[in-house]
Amino acid sequence: MVFVYVMAGITAFFALILSLQLSVRVCFDSEAKDEMKVFAKIGFYKIHILPAKEKKPKKIKKPAKIKKAKKIKKIAEPPKEKKKYAIGEIFDLIREIGTVLAGRFKKHFKVKIYKINVILAGDEAEKTAMLYGGAIQSACYLHEFLNRNFKIRKKTHSVKIIPDFSKNRTSCNIDIKFSMRTAHMTAMGIASLIKFLKFWKNPKKTTNIS
């Protein structure tokens, strides 16, 4: 009975770890003092990346006296034969692993847009209008690309691009979160490892290079 409880506890622990979500949130405000804030989150634990905390200066320790080590004569060992692989094999491995990772990454990587507010301004009204037209076109292309390749979630009216003819400087306020579950990341790592082990054990017989 104790064994059953232990196994149930271990299973629950790993299930909890694999269900955790790893996320990185980026907040940028061009008009704020701290322009960019970046923090990562694993489950309920938050790690601040930017702005970095100021580190306290470390006390300099006096270097300890180094004793001279006695030289020990080493017996020369015969050189081991190294495995040699063809360039084609290596490129095939990289391509296969890249295909696996790209497919899984596109399927499970999530982007949540909390806010993208861009206020476009220029020295002249003509310049502002040109900036606005270019920004709208670029935003449409980017939105289509993200929707096609990733899971995008956004609130209503979370993206705003506004021309302001009364200002001389463009400003923006961005808040975006990128996330993926640890289970999906683990699956990507295992799939890549399996591909590599198959390549390591059974490389194709082709012209070898040193």
Q: Residues 109, 178: contact at Cβ < 8 Å?
A: yes
Q: What pLDDT band is residue 210 in, cutting at 50, 70 and 90?
A: very low
Return the pLDDT at 68: 61
Query: Nearest 5°: phi and psi at 112?
Result: -115, 120
172 pLDDT exceeds 50? yes
Are 22 and 41 contacting, i.e. CB atoms less than 8 angstroms apart?
A: yes
The contacts of residue 134 (CB under 8 Å, 6+ apart) are none
Q: Note the pLDDT of residue 64.
A: 64
Greatest pairwise CA separation for the chain in angstroms: 81
pLDDT per residue as tens digits for the range 50-81 = 877 766 666 666 666 666 655 566 666 666 66
pLDDT at 207: 40
Residue 37's pLDDT is: 86
What confidence tens digit (pLDDT) does each residue in 109-162 have? 998 888 889 988 888 888 888 988 999 899 888 888 888 888 888 877 788 889
Average pLDDT estimate for 178-205: 84
Between 26 and 85, the higher pLDDT residue = 26
Instruction: Give me the residue label for tokens 């017996």.
Output: 75
The residue count of the chain comes to 210
Least confident residue range of 30-44, 94-108, 133-147, 162-176: 30-44
Confidence of residue 23 (pLDDT cuts 50, 70, 90): very high
DSSP-derived secondary structure for 184-209: HHHHHHHHHHHHHHHHHHS-------
Q: What is the pLDDT of residue 151?
A: 83
Closest CA to 151 of 202, 99, 108, 122: 108
pLDDT of residue 178: 92
Residue 54: how many CB atoms within 10 A of its CB? 6
**Residue ranges of domains in the chain:** 26-51+85-201
Say yes or no to pLDDT of 12 above 80: yes
pLDDT class for 107, splitting at 50, 70, 90?
Answer: confident
CB-CB neighbours of 175 under 10 Å? 17
Average pLDDT, the chain: 81
In the numeric block, the tokens 């001279």 are attached to 68
Which pTM was predicted?
0.68
Task: State the distance between the two ends of the chain, measured CA to CA, in whole angstroms.
Answer: 57
